[in-house]
Amino acid sequence: MRFISRLAFYLSAIAFFSIISFAQQNDVDKLPVNYEELTSPDFIKAVEKSNGTCIIPFGILEKHGPHLPLGTDLLDAREKSIRAAQNEYVLVFPQYYFGQIYEAKHQPGTIAYSSDIIWKMLQETCDELSRNGIKKIIIVNGHGGNNNFIKYFCQAQLEKRKDYVVIMYTPVGNPEVQKEILKLRKTVDDDHAGETETSSILAFRPDLVKLDKTSTQSGEDKKQLDGLHDFFAGIWWYAKFPNHYAGDGSPANKTLGDLILNSDVDQLTKFIKSIKKENRLIDLQNKFFDEADEPLKTKVK
C-alpha cells in the first residue's frame, strides 16, 4: 500500500513536471520574432532560441517614383526578414531607416540624417544588442544607397575589439529564379520603383501601390553625364534619375512579386540557418584581435 501511494506520488509528480515543461516548450514555440513584441522575460528565451542572432532589416525613407510608399525599402526588407525568421527563428529588429540618402534630399518626404549620426546610430544599436546577448547581427539591406556605407561599417568593426560580429547579407540571386523573372518581366530597364520593385510590394502590400500613377512621371535615364566613364561621384544617381524613378512600374504584377518574395525568403532562411550554427566568424575575429593587440609577437612565431 505504501509502495502504491509512493508510486502514485511519483507518477503525479512526473505528470506535473511534464505539463510544466510542455507549457514551457509551447511558450518557446510561440515566441514572436519581432523584437518589440517580446516581453522582457521572453526576450531571454528568444536570445537562446535564436542562438544570439538578430536581423536588422535596414531601409530608408525616400521617394519611390510617383506610385510607391516612401518606406518601400524598409517594408520590403522587413517583410522578407520576418517571413524568414518565422521559418528559422531569429530576432527581427524594429523599423530601422537611419541610412545614407543624401541624393534624394530634393524630393519630398526624404529623411537624410547626417553621416556621423547614421554611423553612431548603427554602432550603438549593435553595441546595445550585444550587451543584451546578441552576438551575431545580420543586416538585411533593402536600399541600394546604403550598400557602400554598410560594407565600410562592417570593415570598420575590426577597428576595435568586439565580442560580436556584424554580417551584411549579400545574396547572389538563384539563377533558375532569375531566368523565370526575366521571362515574366516586360521592361528592360528596371530599377528603383520599376517593374520588379513595384511587383515585390504588390505581393504583400497591394493596398500601398498606386498602379494608376505609375505613368504620371518619367522613369527614364536622363543621361546627364553621358560620355563620362570610369568615375564615381555622389551626383551619379541624380545625373541619371533625378525623379527617383528608374524604369516603369506599370507592368508590375503579383505573380512576379510572389516569385521574387518566395525565392528571397527561401534564400534568407537558408542563410539564417547557416549563420545560427556558424562559429568561425566570431572565433576568427577573436583570433585576429589577439594578434592585432601584439603584432610583433605574432610575427616571431
Interface ranges with Zn ion (CB under 5 A) = 72-73
- DSSP character at residue 206: G
Comparison of 94 and 144: residue with beta carbon closer to Zn ion = 144
| Residue with Cβ nearer Zn ion (73 or 195) | 73
**DSSP 8-state assignment for residue 168:** E
Give yes or no for a contact between 197 and 211, defined as CB atoms under 8 angstroms apart.
Answer: no
Q: Which is nearer to Zn ion, 72 or 130 (CB)?
A: 72
Least distance (Å) between residue 73 CB and Zn ion: 4
**Nearer of residues 63 and 83 to Zn ion, judged by Cβ:** 63
Directed axis angle between helix 40-49 and helix 2-29, to 10°?
90
Q: Read off the C-alpha cell for 46.
A: 528568444
Q: Which is nearer to Zn ion, 72 or 267 (CB)?
A: 72
Q: Tell me how far, at minimum, the Cβ of 98 lies from Zn ion, in Å.
A: 16
DSSP reduced 3-state for 161: coil
DSSP letter assigned to residue 242? T
Shorter beta-carbon distance to Zn ion: residue 31 or 61: 61
Is residue 73 a contact partner of residue 139, using CB atoms and an 8 Å limit? Answer: no
Residue 157 class from Cβ within 10 Å (0-12 exposed, 13-18 middle, 19+ buried)?
middle
Find the shortest distance in angstroms from Cβ 72 to Zn ion.
5
Please tell me whether residue 165 adopts helix, strand or coil conformation.
strand
Rounded to whole angstroms, the Cα distance separating 191 from 243 reads 13
H or E element in which residue 129 lies: helix 115-131
> Nearest approach, Cβ of 185 to Zn ion (angstroms)?
17
CB of 139 to Zn ion, least distance (A): 16
| Residue 73 vs 103, nearer CB to Zn ion | 73
Give the residue at shortest CB distance from Zn ion.
73
Give the residue among 141, 265, 261 at the shortest CA–CA distance from 204. 261
Other beta carbons less than 10 A from residue 137's beta carbon: 25
Nearest-approach distance from CB 192 to Zn ion, in angstroms: 6
**Least distance CB 138 / Zn ion (angstroms):** 20
Handedness of CA 62, 67, 69, 72 (dihedral sign): negative
Can you say how many angstroms the Cα of residue 154 is from the centroid of all Cα atoms in its chain?
A: 14
Q: How far apart are CA 86 and CA 92, in angstroms?
A: 10
Query: How far apart are CB 157 and Zn ion at their closest, in Å?
Result: 26
68 or 265, CB closer to Zn ion? 68
CA 200 to each of CA 43, 150, 251, 253: distance values in angstroms, whole numbers, following the listed order: 31, 23, 12, 8
